[in-house]
């Protein structure tokens, strides 16, 4: 069977079992869009901006574990996708982004809508390809999916010159069944010696701590991590990216750590003697001041990416491997040898942790006459029984969502952790909706963030995509205001968002439902109504306390034991 390049592309996507492609047409990809029209296996979702396409594909991937796929045109189409590529790259999300390129004879001539997307995207993708011949197209797509989804996952760009998709040029199609790349062989399992050393060190602990990140979710290792945590009886903390990889309702879970983590998890990090880091990369938002990070700890670090080990922090037992395979090996070794830490020491350690917990560092004023953002998230969690997929944007609302929604399952917390991309939440929620048509989905956002990809409300209208948007509207770029308050003597330089739109009128113009909620007593009713509304997108504009801050906070340059706690926390019931 002879096929054109455009037809080959869809055959490849079909072979990769791609369900949805999020995209936007343009000159360089018109042959591809024509081939799209003539097939019915791969479904195309027309977004309103290429950034929305990448975040939607990203949300789809985070919610399913499958690669997200985008199709965008050359030049501005491709450059608009860059923020989404960088977002996925920082959080190691597998994406395959197909960009059109001008025809090969035009490359380098400054042709209409030509740009060097290979050059532009290079620092923010795992890899990229400029397809050089029709014969190499299928193999390139195979390689792209292989690279995106194996090892430490990440986004891959395939740039396809327009002449290679010409319907008049056809070749026989053959999709390679397997792939062998001499230059790319990611490690799977850690070495037995290292695993033995890790177990020895773990059972020697008197004040152990397990610190698990997004790598546990990406590696589908939540079951193994949970089993290991419970087997050992050690306290477990999650990074922002790791939330849900260990059940938040489990008594051994001590909350998130880092800049806005709980007092108990950060104090435990500071005091621990053995630290097991799994699929976490010692990001500065976690470590704070690196000189004072875990000063007493001997560290075991499991990571699929060798370059992550000892990048920011020295490690005693490095284990390069897939988190699932390594944790399974550790569990097997523990059960064979039946070795455990000294139970008295561990009991003593838990007493210490419980005394830290008793200060209740997330406490807030529940009797306020103003709506507290924490209350909105807490209520939403309660009403959805912690089962919702929660996407977020970036800022105070993101931290409130991370602190107050209890994630008991992996892949429910969909947020731009590494890059901190405002505008992520709405398109990501669209992606989650396509992945899970019947799930409860809430996008927790702020009035600053939501305005960065607001045009996707139109996509939601076109496809009847329904979910709830919880806009924690304080009229400020809240996290910016908080930092300005703490470190710039409250000089609120450009953190005040003047001239906000009438959000209800706006979403209604797109055919959605809008509500304004300005009293704490109305929060629960509004949330119930929104949750019950399954077939309409509902935008809840919560007019929250404009001065509320995220506590606790580790300020820049401080250690984990130097958290700034809410100064008024003792006044709260």
Partner 1 sequence: MRHIISLLIENESGALSRVAGLYSARGYNIESLTVAPTDDPSLSRMTIVTFGSDTVVEQIAKQTDKLIDVVRLVTYTETPHVERELMMVKLRAIGAQREEAMRLVSIFRAKIVDVTDSTYVVEVTGDSGKIDAFLGAVPSEQILEVVRSGVVGIARGESALKV
Which letter does DSSP use for residue 257 in this model? -
**Is 113 one of the annotated active-site residues of the chain?**
yes
Asked if 139 interacts with partner 1 (CB under 8 A), we say: no
CA atoms of 548 and 545, how far apart (whole Å): 6
Phi-psi region of 465 (alpha: psi -120 to 50; beta: other; left: phi over 0): beta
> Which residue out of 112, 354, 387, 571 is catalytically annotated?
112
CB 220 within 8 A of CB 324: yes
CB 155 within 8 A of CB 125: yes
As given in the structure block, the two tokens for residue 417 are 């952790």
> Stretches 43-51, 302-310, 359-367, 373-381: which one binds partner 1 (CB under 8 A)?
302-310
Asked if 291 interacts with partner 1 (CB under 8 A), we say: no
CB 552 within 8 A of CB 399: no
> Binding residue for partner 1 (CB under 8 A) from 167, 233, 306, 511?
306
> Which residue out of 142, 143, 162, 372 is catalytically annotated?
162
Cβ distance to partner 1 smaller for residue 128 or 265: 128
> Binding residue for partner 1 (CB under 8 A) from 305, 485, 522, 555?
305
Asked if 46 interacts with partner 1 (CB under 8 A), we say: no
> Binding residue for partner 1 (CB under 8 A) from 172, 178, 182, 249?
182
CB 548 within 8 A of CB 401: no
Cβ distance to partner 1 smaller for residue 314 or 521: 314
Cβ distance to partner 1 smaller for residue 271 or 303: 303
Length of the chain: 573
335 C-beta neighbours (distance < 10 Å), count: 11
> Binding residue for partner 1 (CB under 8 A) from 1, 109, 168, 183?
183
Number of residues that bind partner 1 (CB under 8 A): 19
> Which residue out of 39, 104, 113, 455 is catalytically annotated?
113
Q: Which of 497, 452, 504 is nearest to 477 (CA)?
A: 497
CA atoms of 478 and 398, how far apart (whole Å): 11
**Is 50 one of the annotated active-site residues of the chain?**
yes
Angle at the Cα of 22 from the Cα atoms of 446 and 421, rounded to 5 degrees: 30
Beta strand spans in 75-114 (E): 95-101
**Is 162 one of the annotated active-site residues of the chain?**
yes
Backbone angles phi, psi at 371, to 5 degrees: -75, 125
Cβ distance to partner 1 smaller for residue 85 or 334: 85
Beta bridge partners of 413: 390
Cβ distance to partner 1 smaller for residue 45 or 302: 302
Q: Which of 284, 289, 293 is nearest to 557 (CA)?
A: 289
> Which residue out of 7, 16, 22, 50 is catalytically annotated?
50
Asked if 181 interacts with partner 1 (CB under 8 A), we say: yes
- Kindly identify the residues of this chain, within the stretch 309-328, that bind partner 1 according to CB under 8 A: 310-311, 314
- Kindly identify the residues of this chain, within the stretch 92-131, that bind partner 1 according to CB under 8 A: 118-119, 122-123, 126-127, 130
31 C-beta neighbours (distance < 10 Å), count: 23
Minimum CB distance to partner 1, residue 86 (Å): 12
Q: Active-site residues: which are they?
A: 50, 112-113, 162, 479
Q: Which residue ranges make up the site for partner 1 (CB under 8 A)?
A: 118-119, 122-123, 126-127, 130, 132, 147, 181-184, 305-307, 310-311, 314
């Amino acid at each position: 069977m002879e096929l054109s390049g455009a037809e080959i592309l869809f055959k490849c996507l079909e072979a990769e079992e791609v369900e949805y492609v999020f995209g936007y047409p343009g000159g360089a990809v018109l042959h591809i869009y024509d081939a799209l029209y003539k097939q019915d296996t791969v479904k195309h979702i027309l977004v309103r901006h290429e950034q929305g396409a990448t975040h939607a594909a990203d949300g789809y991937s985070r919610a399913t574990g499958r690669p997200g796929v985008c199709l965008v045109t050359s030049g501005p189409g491709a450059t608009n996708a860059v923020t989404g590529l960088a977002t996925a790259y920082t959080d190691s999300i597998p994406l395959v982004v197909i960009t059109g390129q001008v025809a090969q004879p035009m490359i380098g001539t400054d042709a209409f809508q030509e740009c060097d997307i290979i050059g532009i995207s290079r620092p923010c993708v795992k890899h990229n390809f400029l397809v050089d011949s029709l014969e190499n197209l299928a193999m390139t797509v195979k390689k792209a999916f292989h690279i995106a989804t194996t090892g430490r996952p990440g986004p891959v760009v395939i740039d396809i010159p327009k002449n290679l998709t010409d319907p008049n040029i056809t070749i026989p199609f053959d999709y390679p069944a397997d792939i062998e790349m001499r230059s790319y062989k990611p490690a799977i399992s850690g070495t037995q010696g290292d695993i033995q050393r890790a177990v020895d060190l773990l059972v020697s602990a008197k004040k152990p701590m397990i610190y698990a990140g997004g790598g546990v979710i990406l590696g589908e290792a939540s079951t193994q991590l949970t089993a290991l945590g419970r087997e050992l009886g050690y306290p477990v903390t999650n990074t922002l990216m790791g939330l849900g990889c260990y059940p938040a309702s489990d008594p051994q879970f001590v909350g998130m750590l880092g800049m806005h983590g709980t007092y108990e998890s950060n104090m435990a990090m500071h005091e621990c003697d053995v630290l097991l880091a799994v699929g976490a990369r010692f990001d500065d938002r976690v470590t704070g001041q690196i000189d004072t990070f875990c000063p007493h700890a001997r560290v075991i670090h499991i990571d699929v990416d060798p370059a992550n080990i000892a990048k920011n922090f020295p490690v005693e037992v490095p284990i390069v491997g897939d988190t699932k395979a390594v944790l399974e090996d550790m569990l097997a070794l523990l059960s064979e040898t039946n070795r455990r830490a000294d139970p008295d020491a561990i009991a003593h350690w838990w007493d210490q942790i419980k005394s830290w917990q008793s200060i209740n560092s997330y406490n807030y004023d529940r009797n306020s006459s103003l709506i507290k953002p924490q209350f909105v998230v807490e209520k939403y969690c309660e009403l959805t029984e912690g089962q919702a997929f929660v996407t977020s944007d970036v800022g105070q609302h993101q931290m409130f969502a991370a602190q107050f929604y209890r994630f008991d399952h992996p892949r429910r917390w969909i947020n731009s952790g590494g890059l901190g991309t405002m505008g992520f939440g709405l398109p990501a929620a669209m992606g989650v909706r396509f992945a899970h048509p019947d799930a409860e989905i809430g996008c927790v956002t702020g009035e600053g963030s939501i305005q960065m990809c607001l045009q996707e409300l139109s996509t939601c209208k076109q496809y009847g995509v329904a979910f709830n948007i919880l806009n924690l509207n304080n009229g400020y770029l809240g996290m910016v205001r908080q930092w300005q308050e703490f470190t710039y003597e409250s000089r609120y330089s450009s953190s005040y968002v003047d001239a906000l739109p009438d959000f209800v009128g706006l979403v209604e113009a797109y055919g959605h439902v809008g509500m304004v909620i300005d009293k704490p007593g109305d929060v629960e009713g509004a949330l119930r109504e929104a949750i019950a509304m399954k077939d309409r997108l509902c935008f809840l504009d919560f007019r929250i306390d404009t001065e509320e801050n995220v506590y606790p906070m580790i300020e820049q340059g401080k250690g984990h034991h130097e958290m700034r706690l809410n100064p008024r926390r003792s006044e709260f019931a």
